[in-house]
Amino acid sequence: MPKVINWIGIITALLLVLGSGAIAQTNPNPPEENGTPDMEVTLTLEQKTSAGLPLGQPLTAATTITVAPGDTYAYHLLCKNVGSQPARDFIVSIPILEDEEYLADSATADSAIVSFSLDGGATFYYPPIAYTAQLPDGTLQERIAPASMYTSIRWLFTGMIDPEEVRTASFEVMRK
């Protein structure tokens, strides 16, 4: 059965940018007068299967899409320093929606270190991610988390990002 995803409230909650005073914005204000970095982050979708996605169009709070179980699609991030000063080492974190499954090894980025969360974004680790599972007999066993257990993705864009410089990132998911 197709599902309608309404992006109201999700887009503003999706993006977290830290470092050098940079701020992620879906509708950015003009850069700060005092010359601090100002990062603009745009999120778009690319169709992999099915139809009806707003391809290449930035997702906004009003964007609504319809996806069916098994549909795959890619999120693309474009991060641009629209400030007057270089930014350094900023972070973009995006949750994987509950009815989405991250597709293994699909996260990419320009000059970034990728990490993943199993707990909704409270903590991030580099794969392979070990976790402790309780077996039916009550014993504990350490296991490696499959990509389907990932709940959030984080990119640490390293180094200096000069004014007007752009960094990109992407990842693919499948609708459960």
The set of residues, in sequence order, having a beta carbon less than 8 Å from that of 139 and lying 6+ positions away, is: none
Residue 162 backbone phi and psi in degrees, to 5: -70, 160
Higher-confidence residue: 87 or 8? 87
Q: Are 41 and 108 in contact (CB under 8 A)?
A: no
> Quick one: tokens of 127?
């794969």
Per-residue confidence at 54, pLDDT binned at 50, 70, 90?
very low
| Per-residue model confidence (pLDDT) at position 79 | 85
Q: Which residues of 114-133 are buried (b: 16+ CB within 10 A; e: fewer)?
A: bbbbbeebeebbeeebeeee
Residue pLDDT, tens place only, 14-46: 333 333 333 333 333 333 444 455 777 777 666
All domains in the chain, ordered by first residue: 3-175 (2.60.40)
| Per-residue model confidence (pLDDT) at position 65 | 65
- Model pTM greater than 0.95? no
Average per-residue pLDDT for the chain: 75
Distance of alpha carbon 152 from the chain centroid: 7
